[in-house]
Amino acid sequence: MTIAFWKMHGAGNDFIVVDDRDETFPAGDRHWLQAVAHRNTGIGCDGFILVQNSDAADFRMRFLNSDGSEVAMCGNGARCVARFAARRGISAARMSFDTAAGTLHAEVLEDDQVCLQMTDPFDWRLERSFEISEQMKVYDFVNTGVPHVVIKVDALDLDVLAYGTAIRHHADFQPDGTNANFITCSGPQSLNLRTYERGVENETLACGTGVVAAALVAAQRGWVSPPVAVCCASGDKQTVDFNLNAEGARDVTLTGPAVFIFEGTVEYDG
């Protein structure tokens, strides 16, 4: 079977996007997915995005990590799939689409930018104690479609892989684990961020839901105020806007790039 795909990235977070409205993509073949995602011997990606039919929205977005595991949401991926759907005529520039985290709304803007309306964050856990190192004894946590730990550090020249792995597998976040974000404040409305993503099991150049989690936690802790510009490891900036309230935050939007890289085909013989 020949599968057509489009390679895209959102702030350096890269994806293989497939129009899977006929639902023939081999999403259950984790060995094949891992081989395709491999950066030396495959196409290379942080995840796979499948566009499928929906009865309630313009389409359904299904997201698979590079290890073949499925997660509910991906912020950078959602912006990419929105631009893909508009480019392919699957939706208009303003659209709604289903995810396992809920229905999202997006608008494709000029200059490769997409504004994404996020689902409401939940499962807030602020100023919790653990001990990863002498410098990391307090964490904040919020689910922005997927779970995220946020830790404010003095500087970002740290071993993200080592610390991220320890946090991802910490007992506080089992059995599903968590993503881990390390932030510094660069101004009253700006952050710098590095993120370790579960499923990739390494640092990624950007993570949209992590960007949102970092901005929301930093605002709740009084370190910044919205809108918040977040600079990721790729050097790209994304903007998070929201309204704080007693429950945490509402009306959360994430605006940032969604870029086409190339298109091609890959063979599946399974």
Give catalytic residues, as residue numbers.
74, 207
The torsion defined by the Cα of 36, 57, 197 and 45, in degrees rounded to 10, comes to: 20
Beta bridge partners of 16: 7, 48
Contacts for 114 with CB less than 8 Å, ≥ 6 apart: 79, 80, 82, 83, 106, 107, 108, 255, 256, 257, 258
Structure tokens of 268? 């599946």
Quote the CA–CA distance of 253 and 239 in Å, as a whole number. Answer: 8
Report the alpha-carbon distance of residue 151 to residue 217 in Å, rounded.
Answer: 9
Place of tokens 């929105």: 82
Beta bridge partners of 63: 49, 71
**Cα separation of 133 and 110, whole Å?**
44
101 backbone φψ class: left, alpha, beta (φ>0; ψ -120 to 50): alpha
